[in-house]
Amino acid sequence: MFPQATWISFSNHPHPPSFPLITQVFNINSNDVCLTLTSGGCNALNLLIHGAKQVVSVDCNPAQSALLQLKQVAIQQVHIQ
C-alpha cells in the first residue's frame, strides 16, 4: 500500500555542517519525496538543494511556515551575478 520508506527525524539548531553527509547516507535523489519539520526552513531547503524530487514541510507553528515562504520568495527574487 505504501512505498518503501526510511524514516529519520532530526532537528538541529544551528544547522550543522553534517547535513550533506545525511543526504548522502540516505542517498537523497530525484526520486525522493521527503517529509520534514519546517522549523526555520533550512532542512527543507537543503533537501531540495541536495536533489530531492519534492519536499513536504510541516509545522504546528504557522510562523515557521511563513518564514519558509519568505525564504522561498527571497531565493526566487535574488539575482546572483
Total domains in the chain come to 1
* pTM as predicted: 0.72
Least Cα distance to 45 among 69, 78, 24, 29 occurs for: 69
In DSSP terms, 37 is beta-bridged to: 58
- Report, as an integer, the average pLDDT of 33-38: 88
Q: Does some domain include residue 38?
A: yes
Q: Does some domain include residue 12?
A: no
Range of the domain at 54: 21-77
Q: Does some domain include residue 11?
A: no
pLDDT at 12: 56
21: cell is 553527509
Q: Does some domain include residue 54?
A: yes
Mean pLDDT, all residues of the chain = 80
